[in-house]
Amino acid sequence: MEIFNLTLVQMMNMFFLMLVGFILVKCKILPEGSDRVISRLETYALVPALTLCNQMKNCTVKNFAENLPNMISGLIVVLIAIGLAYPLSCLFVKADASDSKLLYKKQIYKYALAFGNYGYVGNFLVLSIWGQEMLFKYMMFTFFPAIMCSAWGVYTLIPKSENSPGLLSNLKNGLIKPPFISLLVGMFLGLTKLGNYFPSFVHTAFENAGNCMGPLAMILAGIVIGEFNFKELITNKKVYIVSLARLILIPSLFILILKMIGVNKDVITFTLIAFAAPLGLNTIVYPSAFGGDTKTGASMTMVSQTLSVITIPLMYLLFIDKM
């Protein structure tokens, strides 16, 4: 119950921060383009700072070897999630091959069923409740999901045209972005112990910047959602169904299977946090950048973020708390 209470408090904290961003937009306190500025700050500074700090401290040769099973488990689970997303998305959108809009909407549902916000929400939740050591293990679990999200996930969200990036191009672009580069650099500095030679103020600066990542990410989510018509976001019934599948059905299936085959508690916990997480902002950011539908993604983000305040703590209580 203690972890359940901590999880509930943290989810309420995240929801409150998202509400702050929403109010700032609706009251027109923030200037136009604030979401792009904050998004770049997260991508180029705060997420890399959190990752570097954590990896330098925790990625020793011993810890890396011990967490290889976590990495493999993450790869297996994300591949299964992608496989499930194909038939499940057909239940929500029966697209005619000639209807490009419906076909693209199906792609958004497919992404939503495969990937939750394992990064911003997951990292924030794990760090807040269990601390840096557990965050390292969680980052190892999400190593391959991050790669698959950067490749297949983003490829799915970009409307197809002659000029749209291909799957390999998406993978290349994802691997050269600061969050993933900082992960590799941090692992190298940790494994070689070169990070120990950094001055203490550098470690402190990284840690302080990393601590800002989660709160600002939630405010950013509220800002982005606040830019849409609220009434239009809550009227799509399919969004509620796919959100419940995203938050309850799919992670429950994974957890029950993992328990049946005797997987350890850490992997089950990481699976819950990563795959019961609400939808992130990718379903808004990438369609917007390439001229696709943003309303569907915004609806799913808002609904799933709101429902996750209750579903994640309850899922933890039901499946993990007494293990």
Q: Is the pLDDT of residue 41 over 70?
A: yes
Q: What's the whole-number mean pLDDT along residues 184-213?
A: 92
* Residue of 8, 228, 221 whose CA lies nearest to 129: 8
Report the distance separating Cα 18 and Cα 150, nearest Å: 24
State the pLDDT confidence band at 151, using cuts at 50, 70 and 90. Answer: confident
Mean pLDDT check: name the lowest of 113-117, 173-177, 226-230, 303-307.
173-177
pLDDT of residue 1: 65
pLDDT of residue 257: 93
pLDDT of residue 167: 66
Cα→Cα distances 157→45, 46, 115, 116, 296, Å = 25, 24, 12, 14, 12
For 54-64, write each residue's pLDDT tens digit. 999 999 999 99
Q: Look up the CATH number of the domain holding residue 52.
A: 1.20.1530
Residue 66 CB neighbour total at 10 angstroms = 12
Q: Is the pLDDT of residue 97 over 60?
A: no
Q: What is the mean pLDDT of the chain?
A: 87
State the pLDDT confidence band at 164, using cuts at 50, 70 and 90. Answer: low
Range of the domain at 95: 2-319
pLDDT of residue 3: 73
State the pLDDT confidence band at 319, using cuts at 50, 70 and 90. Answer: confident
Q: Is the pLDDT of residue 71 over 70?
A: yes
Q: In total, how many domains does the chain have?
A: 1
* Residue of 49, 48, 63 whose CA lies nearest to 140: 63
CB 240 within 8 A of CB 278: no
CA angle (282 as vertex; 158, 178 as ends), nearest 5:
100
Q: What's the whole-number mean pLDDT along residues 156-183?
A: 73
State the pLDDT confidence band at 7, using cuts at 50, 70 and 90. Answer: confident
State the pLDDT confidence band at 29, using cuts at 50, 70 and 90. Answer: very high
**Residue appearing with tokens 């409150």:** 16
Q: Is the pLDDT of residue 96 over 70?
A: no
The contacts of residue 88 (CB under 8 Å, 6+ apart) are 109, 113, 245
CB 135 within 8 A of CB 59: no
Q: Is the pLDDT of residue 99 over 80?
A: no
Q: What's the whole-number mean pLDDT along residues 91-115?
A: 80
pLDDT of residue 250: 93
State the pLDDT confidence band at 50, using cuts at 50, 70 and 90. Answer: very high
Report the distance separating Cα 107 and Cα 158, nearest Å: 9
Phi-psi region of 297 (alpha: psi -120 to 50; beta: other; left: phi over 0): alpha
**Residue appearing with tokens 């509220």:** 222
Q: What's the whole-number mean pLDDT along residues 170-177?
A: 72
For residues 167 and 181, the model is more confident at 181
Q: What is the pTM of this model?
A: 0.86
State the pLDDT confidence band at 310, using cuts at 50, 70 and 90. Answer: very high
Q: What's the whole-number mean pLDDT along residues 242-269?
A: 92
State the pLDDT confidence band at 68, using cuts at 50, 70 and 90. Answer: very high
Q: What is the DSSP string of 200-218?
A: HHHHHHHHHHHHTHHHHHH
Report the distance separating Cα 317 and Cα 111, nearest Å: 27
